[in-house]
Amino acid sequence: MKAGLVSALAALAACGEAATTPKVTPRDELAYSPPFYPSPWMDGFAEGVEYMYAKAREIVAEMSIPEKVNLTTGVGWQGERCVGNTGSVPRLGLRGLCLQDGPAGIRFTDYNSVYPSGQLTAATWDRVLINKRARAMGFEAKGKGIDILLAPVAGPIGRIPTGGRNWEGFSPDPYLTGVAMAESAMGIRGAGVIACAKHFVGNEQERFRQAGEAQRFGHDISESMSSNIDDKTMHELYMWPFADVIRAGIGAIMCSYQQVNNSYGCHNSKLMNNLLKDELGFQGFIVSDWQAQHNGVSSALAGLDMTMPGDTTFNSGLSFWGANLTLAVLNGTVPAWRLDDMALRILTAMFNTNLGPDQLPDINFSSWTLDTDGPVHFVANENFEVINQHVSVQEDNANLIREIAAKGTVLLKNEGALPLKKPKFLAVIGEDAGPNPKGPNGCADRGCNEGTLGMSWGSGTANFPYLITPDFALQAQALKDGTRYESILSNWENSATRNLVKQDNATAIVFVNANSGEGYIAVEDNQGDRANLTLWNGGDELIKNVSSICPNTIVVIHSTGPVLVTDWYDSPNITAILWAGVPGQESGNAIADVLYGRVNPAGRTPFTWGPTEESYGTKLLAKPNNGKDAPQDDFTEGVFIDYRHFDRISEEDPDSAPIYEFGFGLSYTTFEYSDLKIQRNDIGEYKPTEGETLEAPILSNFSTDLADYVFPDDVRRIEQFIYPYLTTAESAEEASGDLNYGQKPDEFLPPGATDGSPQPRLRSGGQPGGNPLLWDAIFTVTATITNTGDIDGEEVAQLYVSLGGEDEPVRVLRGFDRLSIPAGESVTFEADLTRRDLSNWDVVLQDWVITEHEKTVWVGSSSRKLLLKGTLDFAAGPEPEQPEEETPEPETPEEEAPEEEYPDEETPEEEGEE
């Protein structure tokens, strides 16, 4: 993309915009989010919380209203050391909780690691690596004193290929993202840190996500955009990964900035009360995105449990909650059981993660400065002490980071150029191979695009401890091999580049990139989202120039999603193409591992590479389309994003066929697929969940005398800090000192919002993740995969299913495994198909239903290399039980035989032992 040209176009577009201000659509014609009340209270018997709920309940029963409010309300932006800090409960020895970004490493600290992006990690299709990455990040967070890590990300899922934050998440496929979310949640929790899945839901583009931010970029809107999503699409696509992460026991979920069906994400009772807490049985707490709360009572009743950073807008010193929540409980607009439920959810998540009051680690960093000494209360400039202890938490995570980055790298094309074997002469070309002249952390929140792309921009960033550039690693390898090595770390040195790559024996590796990030930063003309799908800094011209001269040109792409390769990918002079995503600190080492064959590539693209931007069928809502009111983004494509869209249209329009399809990637060896078997398992019928909940528990009585809640004399007031105490006992209207909560409950509360009586259970609900019978494995599919080459390799076998019926995707991913297969050997691929995998969401019944349409399964190496095919036979009974094989005699003498050699029931009981 040429920056100048894009600015000129943007200016033209802006003129056009002013001339034709769009009409405002009447409110009753807009997409509508139905109310759902009351807010579901915790189910103390639900799987995963049954033990810690009781402990939390005992404690909450003893807590005062201000103590409970303190758990729910942040102390204000930069009020303490973390990106978000709750109030404390000194009586219980509970310091304020520390919430910190982010999804690819700890934000704002030092001596931490920078991991490959979620997107590149998804490209490994390796559950174990995904889990290990999250666990390692969790331990780094723990080592810094963080209690809640603001990761992983499934929203955006990647509806729009130019979406700014797609790299923070995993893949536009909900199954792959769901697996990655669940593994990440378990990994983070395994390290003793609460994971926070974000952003629920529909935050698919950065532009217009927050009206204020959009105004700063010159967009004249007064409300944030609305993502208008229908019920089927919500269930089958956007909610799907959240169901997985809830089932995996995640402790927290962050609601999103923008509106869904014209109700703000953090006030939306349909999203929070109905979908998350009732249907998906979420027993953790919902925390707002930073400043995504726009009022107090309605967000509490709609299901929000924690507000961040706690002030109404950054540093206003006012809060929608804090004292206002205390007052709202006292005057009955928020029922006491709702506040109790918020506190119960937070404490249960803590206890479930071994974070009791005496187990919280010391916070040893400050987000707001890397200076050693400084103020604990940064914005108030108070409490000076050592605030950065510069604790190294990196351990040996560099090895894992390098492994993930190499194993996620996707080999898109290889005409025999790779792996490199001591090439005679290596010419490395492009800015993206070298360092940022300002240093790896030279741009705040990585808000620039200079040097190699190791980390994109926004809140999902971390400070590099170092950054191995491709130039550094490849030169080191060249020196070892006796290879002549020259690099030109610029995209604009045309004649020097031509003179270099035209020389005989040149293997040219061109490094190019395309970057994006979060909406509060614009880099060139990319306001978070990418302005287009082309490479940055003249990358396309660079590739074309080099490959027009050098017959052995290898292209490496670092990017936050697909780029257009249409103009050059099939040039015979381009002998290999690799996608290396956003790789983190070990970038150069990882790409060298793949280029030189130390890692045999098995990354598979987690998104489709279309021929044009239009071919994706979804695009950014670029201009306000509803006057100054909330821009309306109708998700009219339904579930047809990414490969589902390409599969649907490419039969009619072959020109729109992807260049590289979802799931595609090459290896240095070859594989064969054979012997598909589909086994029907013996499982019971689906039973809708029935019955009623218990009533909302009343845990304690409390005084309604305002005087009991006035700011205590012995508490020191810190400037701009948010407290739970009232300023006066004289008048309820003024008691909170800021916003007016004088209305009477029945004047504005939604019907049913304060009703604590038993509520009917939803048929699709029942346990965390939904009706537990949805996870019954109806079929087990197996196939044999053989490595037919002469080097060891890894293959990602993929299972696709067509659910059948009109207006349904041609096929959807429903299983995968990354298999390690030595040369010449075979392994068995196995995947279960659960009831949920085979169901569609029935919008009338409000439940998952297996339709009568024939269901085909394929096992293959990508969404279009479907090598084995079969049909699911629901009528078939389960396989007859095989007669049990005799236990083979252990080869070792009996007394030395390890215990595991005996099936459990046959382990001989030792006399005298219990």
Query: What is the token pair recorded at 212?
Result: 């204020």
Measured from the CB atom, the residue of 68 and 209 that comes closer to ligand NOJ is: 209
Interaction of residue 529 with ligand NOJ, rule CB under 6 A: no
Looking up tokens 């929070």, which residue turns up?
A: 272
Structure tokens at 440: 């790896």
Q: How far is the CB of 309 from ligand NOJ (least distance, A)?
A: 8
DSSP H/E element including 527: strand 526-527
CA distances from 17 to 22, 216, 217, 220 (A): 8, 16, 14, 10
Q: Catalytic residue positions?
A: 289
Residue nearest ligand NOJ, Cβ-based: 459
Complex with ligand NOJ: residue 150 or 179, whichever CB lies closer = 150
| 811 within 8 A of 785, measured Cβ to Cβ | no
Q: Which C-beta is closer to ligand NOJ: that of 203 or that of 487?
A: 203
Residue type (1 letter), 458? G
Residue 236 in tokens? 């089958």
Task: Choose between 459 and 632: whose C-beta lies nearer to ligand NOJ.
Answer: 459
Position 301 contacts ligand NOJ (CB under 6 A): no
Q: CA-to-CA distance for 515 and 503, rounded, in angstroms?
A: 32
Query: Which of residues 101 and 529 has its CB atom nearest to ligand NOJ in the complex?
Result: 101
Taken as a whole, the chain contains a residue count of: 914
Cα separation, 96 vs 90, in Å, equals 9
- Show contacts with ligand NOJ in window 32-51 (CB under 6 A): none
Provide, rounded to whole angstroms, the least separation between the CB of residue 286 and ligand NOJ.
14
Comparing CB distances to ligand NOJ, the nearer of 104 and 512 is 104
Q: Among residues 107 and 761, whose Cβ is nearest to ligand NOJ? A: 107
How far apart CA 18 and CA 8 sit, in angstroms, is 16
If one asks whether residue 198 binds ligand NOJ (CB under 6 A), the answer comes out as: yes
Residue for token digits 């109806």? 778
Any contact of residue 289 with ligand NOJ (CB under 6 A)?
A: yes
Which string of b and e fits 335-351 if b means at least 16 CB within 10 Å? bbbbbbbbbbbbbbbbb
Q: How far is the CB of 304 from ligand NOJ (least distance, A)?
A: 15
Question: Containing H/E element for 215?
Answer: helix 211-216
- How would you classify the pairing of strands 671-680 and 382-386? unpaired
Residue 760, Cβ density class (10 Å: 0-12 exposed, 13-18 middle, ≥19 buried): exposed
> DSSP letter at 732?
T
Contact 793, 602 (CB under 8 A): yes
Report CA 626 to chain centroid distance, whole Å. 30
CB of 320 to ligand NOJ, least distance (A): 17
Contact in structure between 253 and 17 (CB atoms under 8 Å): no
- What is the C-alpha separation between 28 and 878, in angstroms, rounded? 52
State how far the alpha carbon of 10 is from the alpha carbons of 63, 439, 527, 528, 622, in Å. Answer: 56, 30, 12, 15, 11
Question: Any residues with CB less than 8 A from the CB of 713 and at least 6 apart, and which?
Answer: none
Which 3-state string (H, E, C) describes 406-427? HHHCEEEEECCCCCCCCCCEEE
Taking the least distance from each CB to ligand NOJ, the nearer of 101 and 279 is 101
Binding of ligand NOJ at residue 267 (CB under 6 A)? no
- Under the criterion CB under 6 A, does residue 206 sit at the interface with ligand NOJ? no
Q: Which is nearer to ligand NOJ, 147 or 808 (CB)?
A: 147
Among residues 60, 150, 246, 819, the one that binds ligand NOJ under rule CB under 6 A: 150
Q: Does 207 bind ligand NOJ (CB under 6 A)?
A: no
Beta strand 194-200 pairing with 252-255? parallel
Give the shortest CB-310-to-ligand NOJ separation in angstroms: 12
Q: Which of 200, 208, 290, 725 binds ligand NOJ (CB under 6 A)?
A: 290
Helix (H) or strand (E) holding 56: helix 52-61
HSE, side-chain direction, 13 A CA sphere, residue 179: 23
C-alpha 336/C-alpha 210 separation (Å) is 31
Nearer Cβ to ligand NOJ, position 459 or 507?
A: 459
Among 43, 80, 101, 110, binds ligand NOJ (CB under 6 A): 101
Q: Which is nearer to ligand NOJ, 40 or 202 (CB)?
A: 202
In this complex, which beta carbon is closest to ligand NOJ, that of residue 198 or of residue 377? 198
Residue closer to ligand NOJ (CB basis): 459 or 625? 459
H or E element at residue 842: strand 840-842
CB of 855 to ligand NOJ, least distance (A): 38
Q: How far apart (Å, rounded) are the C-alpha atoms in residues 49 and 347?
A: 11
- By DSSP bridging, strand 553-559 and strand 522-523 are unpaired
**569 CB burial (10 A radius; 0-12, 13-18, 19+):** middle
Handedness of CA 865, 867, 871, 872 (dihedral sign): negative
Number of residues that bind ligand NOJ (CB under 6 A): 7
Q: Where in 312-371 is the site for ligand NOJ (CB under 6 A)?
A: none
CB of 215 to ligand NOJ, least distance (A): 17
Is residue 83 a contact point for ligand NOJ (CB under 6 A)? yes
Any idea which residue has 């942040």 for tokens? 74
Cα of first residue to Cα of last residue in the chain, in angstroms, is 73
In the complex, what is the shortest distance from the CB of residue 339 to ligand NOJ, in angstroms, rounded to a whole number? 24
CA distance linking residue 826 with residue 649, whole number of Å: 36
Over the window 227 to 256, marking each residue x when it contacts ligand NOJ by CB under 6 A and - when it does not, the resulting string is ------------------------------
**R_g (Cα) of the chain, nearest Å:** 28
CB-based contacts of 882, cutoff 8 Å, min separation 6: none
Least spacing, CB of residue 459 vs ligand NOJ, in Å: 4
* Segment 843 to 862, residues that bind ligand NOJ, using CB under 6 A: none
Q: Does 459 bind ligand NOJ (CB under 6 A)?
A: yes
Q: How far is the CB of 688 from ligand NOJ (least distance, A)?
A: 36
To the nearest whole angstrom, how small is the minimum distance from the Cβ of residue 99 to ligand NOJ?
Answer: 8
- The nearest distance, CB 150 to ligand NOJ, in angstroms, is 4
Alpha helices, H only, 363-513: 397-408, 470-481, 494-501
CB of 289 to ligand NOJ, least distance (A): 5
Residue type at position 342 = M
Site residues, ligand NOJ (CB under 6 A) = 83, 101, 150, 198, 289-290, 459
